[in-house]
Amino acid sequence: MRTQVAIVGSGPAGLLLGQLLHKAGIDNVIVDRASKAHILGRVRAGVLEDGMARQLTAVGAGGRMAAEALVHDGVWLAFMGRRFRLDLKAHTGKSVLIYGQTEVTHDLMDARERAGLMTIYSAENVRPHDFDGESPSVTYDTDGIEKRIDCAFIAGCDGQHGVCRKSLPEGATTVFERVYPFGWLGLLADVPPVSEELVYANHDRGFALCSMRSRARSRYYIQCRTDERVEDWSDDAFWDELRRRLPPDAAESVTTGPSFEKSIAPLRSFVIEPVRFGRLFLAGDAGHIVPPTGAKGLNLAASDVHYLAEAFGEYYADGSEEGLRAYSEKALGRAWKAVRFSWWMTNLLHRFPDAAPFERRMQETELAYLSQSERAAAAMAENYVGLPY
C-alpha cells in the first residue's frame, strides 16, 4: 500500500492529524496495534482547551461536542478547609470544555469513517523503517502475514509506550524526566458532580480532584502511594477519603454511588528532544508526557498535530520544507510551557512524602497569594485555558 503520510497510533493525536491532513488534501493511513473497541474503552482526559475544540470543529468532528460539552468559566482551588474560585473567563476571555477523551476519539473515528479514510486496527508488530532516508515505510502483521505501507513521511502518534520513539537510534535524543513519588487513584461513577466546576484540593492527607464528564457522571481522583493496589480500595473507602480531603461545604455535598471504573495512574513529566528524525515526526504522548494535574496531555497532542499538519500542508502545497524543519522547535516550545505549568500545579497541590514543614507553608502561602492577587490568578488562568497557537 502507498500513502503520503503513514500515521502510527489512532489516539487523539493520530486521529486529529489524519483529519487535518485529509482537509488539506493529503492522503494518510492510520495503523494501530489495538482494536477499535479497546481504544474507545480507555478512560482518560476530559478537559478541552479552546484550541483543541476549535480544531475538532474545523475538521467537522465538533457537532456532538457543541451540543453536549459543559462550558466551564472557572475552577475552584481548596486549601486549609476553604476554597476560592479562579475566574478563567474574567482573566482570559476564554473557558474550557468538559468533554471526555473517549468522546473526542469517537467523534474523530466517525469523521474518519465518513470520509472513507483507511485505519488498520489490531495490527501486530508495527515498525517504522528507513525514516532517515528518502523512502520510509511502516510494516505490520495481520494473521501472520507482513504488510507494508510505503510513504513519504511517518507520524509517530503512538503514545508513551509506542514503537516510533523506541526505533530512534541510540544517542539521537536527549531525555528530560521527573517521576513523582505518588499516583492518582481515579474513580468514575454515575452520580452528579459535587460542584458545577472542578475542585482542586490541597490537603494534609494528599491531593484530591473533583472532576466530571457530564452533569450525571463524576470523575474523582485522590493522591495515593505508587505501591498501592486498586483492589485494596473499596468504593466506600474511596468516598470516605475523598470527603476528608475536601473543604467541609464540598464534602457534605458529595453524592456517592457505585463506581464503574477505578484505576491508578503514576505521575511523570517526560520530554525528548528533538521530536523529528529525518522523515519521522513524533506528536502527542510519543514525545512528551505531563502529570494530569494541569489537564494538558490531550491538549498538547492537539497543538503538536496543528504544527505538524501545517508543515505537511506547506510541503505539499509548494514544496517548502521550512515548516518541517521548524516543527520540533515549535511543538516543543509550546510543550515545554505546558510541562512547566503541569509541574508547577503538581508541586503546588500534592503532598510530597519528604516535604519539610517549610515546604508545606510555601504551598499554603502560594495558594493564599493566588487567591488574593489578580496578577497571580491571571497568570494561572492564562496557562490553564491554554497558551495560544
Residues with a known catalytic role = 72, 200, 292, 296, 384
Q: Give per-residue burial for 147-157: e unless 16+ CB within 10 Å, then b.
A: eebebbbbbbb
Question: Under the criterion CB under 6 A, does residue 49 sit at the interface with ligand FAD?
Answer: no
Distances 269 to 23, 54, 247, 272, 283 between C-alpha atoms, Å: 33, 26, 29, 11, 16
Which is closer to ligand FAD, CB of 136 or CB of 297? 297
CA-wise closest residue to 119 among 14, 40, 268: 14
301 binds ligand FAD per the rule CB under 6 A: yes
Radius of gyration of the chain, Cα coordinates, nearest whole angstrom: 21
Work out whether 285 is an interface residue with ligand FAD (CB under 6 A).
yes
CB 97 within 8 A of CB 48: yes
What grid cell was written down for 358? Answer: 517549610
- 32 is a contact residue toward ligand FAD (CB under 6 A): yes
Count of helix runs (H) and strand runs (E) in the chain: 13, 20
- State which residue, 74 or 297, has the beta carbon closest to ligand FAD: 297
Q: How far apart are CA 261 and CA 267, in angstroms?
A: 19
Cell numbers representing residue 321 in the block? 520544507
- How far apart are CB 131 and ligand FAD at their closest, in Å? 15
CB of 320 to ligand FAD, least distance (A): 26
Stretch that binds ligand FAD, among 247-255, 267-275, 284-292, 306-314 (CB under 6 A): 284-292
Does 33 participate in binding ligand FAD (rule CB under 6 A)? yes
Q: Which amino acid is at 121?
A: Y
Question: Which residue among 168, 250, 271, 298 contacts ligand FAD (CB under 6 A)?
Answer: 298
Residues whose CB falls within 8 Å of the CB of residue 221, separated by 6 or more in sequence, listed in order: 184, 185, 186, 187, 207, 208, 209, 211
Write out the binding residues for ligand FAD, residues 131-160 only, by CB under 6 A: 157-159
Q: Site for ligand FAD (CB under 6 A): which residue of 296, 330, 350, 351?
A: 296
Stretch that binds ligand FAD, among 8-16, 55-63, 172-180, 377-385 (CB under 6 A): 8-16
Contact between 18 and ligand FAD by CB under 6 A: the answer reads no
297 binds ligand FAD (CB under 6 A): yes
Q: Which residues bind ligand FAD (CB under 6 A)?
A: 8-14, 32-34, 39, 44-45, 101, 126, 157-159, 161-163, 265, 284-285, 292, 295-298, 301
